[in-house]
Each structure stands twice: as structure tokens, then as C-alpha cells.
Chains A and B, each alone.
Chain A
């Protein structure tokens, strides 16, 4: 198992409520801004996309890379973060 970042652990520890999209692991200021411009201003909107893609890790990773130019590592972090959140709370 990959070691998770503090950001990942913080996100997965509790319901995301109104957390901004930059609270997601792998999503920093640059990517966060791009996502916000596209309308994904809150973490739950990105969650919505993840769910619409039927929680498919590959599809969501690909989508994230296409939509905001995330690299493989960032996209994988975000996907893993959302997946674990769903496993815990959904």
C-alpha cells in the first residue's frame, strides 16, 4: 500500500461537508483553481463526478487528467482519496 499524505488522511477522516476542492489529496492551488473555473468549486461536486463515473478508478483518473491537466500522480492521489472516502461514508 502507498503511504498516504496528511491531506489524504484528513479528508478521509470525516464527512466532506462544504470542504473546498483543494481539500482533496493531489489537488493543490493550481489544479484547484482550474477545477473551480469549470464549476467544480466544492469537493462534493468532484465527488459527484466520481459517482457518476460509477466509482471507476481508471475512468475518473482519466477524466481528471483531461479536465484540469493533472499528472498521473496527482490524479491517482485524488482518486484514491475519493475512493476511500466513499468506502468509509457512502
Chain B
């Protein structure tokens, strides 16, 4: 594997196929180019396997986020999945945490909103959640980020609308004309 120049044209051709490099015939003028491409591919060789694992990882991530939407005690399902993919646990821990952190915090703010009459802090919390959401790095998502953000804004706007139209407890709804 170390000296590509000693290999036959046929061997070079086979190596290119192994690395999935599209190529034409190995002739005098193309030889150098293909040797160079093979050297680059071999240097990346160890990293070649990772992306395929990552796709598997992504599938798992999708699965887990699906579970997120359904059941609050996600730590159970989380523990199961992490035992399968021990190598990627550090990364795995990070991303679902971030994804999950956004959803329940939103639910929590909705709950706190219903309890407290002056919920202006809740609005600040909502805006902070929006900024936290944006700092999450762009990855392949089950639901696109822009859509999540849109839904979030719609719900926030709806809640704000309800809040502003709320009557204070002190006000007497039964206003009689005197």
C-alpha cells in the first residue's frame, strides 16, 4: 500500500473502486492524478468508516427524539440506547439533551404562565429559549429548524395575545350602566 507507483494499472483501478472514486482508464497522462487521489483517500481512510456509523447514529437519534415527544421519562430509553452505542455516548448525550432541554422548558414556562398573573418574566424566558435554540449547531433534524422556530413563534404569539386580553381579577366583569 505504500508505493502506489509500483502497482499495475489494474491494481490502481481496483483501489480506486474500493474507495468509491469515479475514474476513467489508467493511462500515462492519468496515472499521476489517480495515484494522488488514492493517497488522499488513504489518508482519510480511517475517517471513512465513521460517516457510515454516523448515519446509523442519526437513525438512532431520530428514534430517540420520537420517544421524546411521547414520554417525559426519557432517561429510560436514553439509557438503553447509550448501552448499544457506547462509543458515541459523549456526543449522544449532548445533542438530545439540547433538543430535549428546549421542549420541556417551553412546557414549563406555559405551566408557570397559567399560575402567575404577571407573567412578563415568562416572555423574557421565551425569548431566551429562542436564542438558545439558535445556538444549537445545524444538523439533520427530524423536523426542520425553521419549522420548529415558526411553530414556537406562533404559540408564543398566541399566548401573548391571550395574556394581553386577560382581565385582572379585581375588575368587575359585570359592568352595569348606571
Contact = CB atoms under 8 A, between A and B. Distances in A.
B23 A59 contact: yes
Nearest to A50: B24
Interface string B34-78: 001100000000000000000000000000000000000000000
B27 interface: yes
14 contacts: A49-B29, A52-B25, A53-B23, A53-B33, A54-B24, A56-B22, A56-B24, A59-B23, A59-B24, A62-B33, A62-B37, A63-B33, A66-B32, A66-B33
Interface of B: 22-25, 27, 29-30, 32-33, 36-37
How many interface residues does chain A have, given as a range? under 10
Contacts of A59: 22-24, 33
Q: Which of B23, B30, B32, B33 has the most CB of A within 10 A?
A: B33
Nearest to A40: B29
Q: Which of B23, B27, B29 has the most CB of A within 10 A?
A: B29
Contacts, number: 27
Nearest to A38: B29
Main secondary structure of the interface of B (DSSP, over half): helix
A1 to B, nearest CB: 25
Contacts of A49: 29-30
Interface in A9-43: none
A67 B32 CA distance: 10
Nearest to B30: A52
A49 B31 CA distance: 12
B68 to A, nearest CB: 40
Nearest to B25: A52
Interface in A51-71: 52-54, 56, 59, 62-63, 66
Q: Which of B24, B30, B32, B36 has the most CB of A within 10 A?
A: B24
A88 B152 CA distance: 52
B27 A52 contact: yes
Contacts of A62: 33, 37
Contacts of B29: 49, 52
B85 to A, nearest CB: 34
Nearest to B34: A59
Nearest to A63: B33
Contacts of B27: 52
A55 to B, nearest CB: 9
Contacts of A66: 32-33, 36
Contacts of B36: 66
